[in-house]
Amino acid sequence: MVEQIDPAAYIPPPVAPAEGQTGHGRQQTRDRRQTAHAQTPAVDVAAVLGATEEVLSPHMQGCFLELVEQVERLREDLEHARMHESYLATTADRHPSLPALNRRAFMSALGRLLQTSERAELPGSLALLHVSGVEAVRERYGLAAAASALGFVAQEITTELRQTDLLGYLDSSDFAIALAVAEADGAKAKIDRIAATLSAAPLLWGERPIRLGISMGMVQFEAGMTAESLLAQADQAMMSGTSELSNSVI
């Protein structure tokens, strides 16, 4: 099936704003605080301070109630800050527009995957995929077309991956695919399917076909290897043509 993309309808992928950055977000925060305050049971000042109400002056009771409200607000602010921190940590690892990890996050995750695979004596594979022609698309059709071409490739790769697999965008036009618990034959079959999927679904920018070149190199996990050394081997396999996977062109 040919995927049609209308240049006029191209809309960059949205970036989710942190909660509280918009008027709507601030209103939601205020509403939650008001609801929480309404649901908070009345404070028994005398019981908390260990004194009777007759001993406590109205001024002291008012000060204590104000202090309790401030503590509650601080707790809500702390919860909001933790949620925002979690959101930022997640978005910091992702490419802003592609369904892939950025290079830093991918290499870190690959290092952990290598350590786990070595300890458990499980197989794994790393495939490096280079997309050629993106710069030519950028020069001929513009930035939106180049971004769409990369998004098309990333999305087609993602449909073939399991939750335990990793997809990273290494900048420029390079993608890396880490296949966990994958024997050589099974990994090769999956990468072959990815190449076949890309070949079977050409990308069109409006009525103009976009032609991309796809080169791949694949290596197996080995004991003692680091993420950087494994990536270097996959790169060398792709450039030298010694990979078990043949290069593909679409």
Beta strands in 181-223 (DSSP E): 203-205, 208-210, 213-220
Residues 68 and 149 in one domain: no
If you average pLDDT over every residue of the chain, what do you get?
A: 78
As for how many domains the chain has, the answer is 2
Residues 133 and 237 in one domain: yes
> In the beta sheet, which residues pair with residue 176?
128, 168
Task: Give the mean model confidence (pLDDT) for residues 203-228.
Answer: 89
Rounded distance, CA 240 to CA 248, Å?
14
Task: Give the mean model confidence (pLDDT) for residues 79-105.
Answer: 79
Q: Name the pTM for this structure.
A: 0.64
Q: What tens digit of pLDDT does each residue of 158-169 get?
A: 999 999 999 999
User: Domain ends where: 42, 59, 93?
Assistant: 93
Given this model, what pLDDT does residue 74 score? 81
Residue type for 229, please?
S
Q: How confident is the model at residue 227 (pLDDT cuts 50, 70, 90)?
A: very high
Given this model, what pLDDT does residue 86 score? 62
User: Domain ends where: 61, 93, 125?
Assistant: 93
Given this model, what pLDDT does residue 79 score? 81
Task: Give the mean model confidence (pLDDT) for residues 38-47.
Answer: 53
The residue whose two tokens read 């999305």 is 155
Rounded distance, CA 196 to CA 168, Å?
20
Which is it for the CA torsion 191, 178, 159, 213, positive or negative? negative
Given this model, what pLDDT does residue 114 score? 96
Q: Running DSSP on this structure, what letter comes out for residue 222?
A: -
The set of residues, in sequence order, having a beta carbon less than 8 Å from that of 20 and lying 6+ positions away, is 26, 29, 80, 84
Q: How confident is the model at residue 236 (pLDDT cuts 50, 70, 90)?
A: very high
- In the chain, the percentage of residues whose pLDDT exceeds 70 is 70
Residues 69 and 142 in one domain: no
pLDDT surpassing 60 at residue 32: no
pLDDT surpassing 60 at residue 17: no
Residues 70 and 143 in one domain: no
Tokens of 138: 């950028």
Residues 146 and 228 in one domain: yes
Residues 86 and 207 in one domain: no
- Strands of the sheet containing 203-205, edge to edge, are 3-5, 203-205, 208-210
Q: What tens digit of pLDDT does each residue of 128-170 get?
A: 999 988 999 999 999 999 999 999 999 999 999 999 999 999 9
Q: How confident is the model at residue 228 (pLDDT cuts 50, 70, 90)?
A: very high
Given this model, what pLDDT does residue 13 score? 47
- In the chain, the percentage of residues whose pLDDT exceeds 90 is 38
Q: Which residue range is the domain that position 39 belongs to?
A: 23-93
User: Domain ends where: 93, 110, 131?
Assistant: 93
The residue whose two tokens read 């079977």 is 200
Residues 243 and 120 in one domain: yes
| CATH for 171 | 3.30.70.270
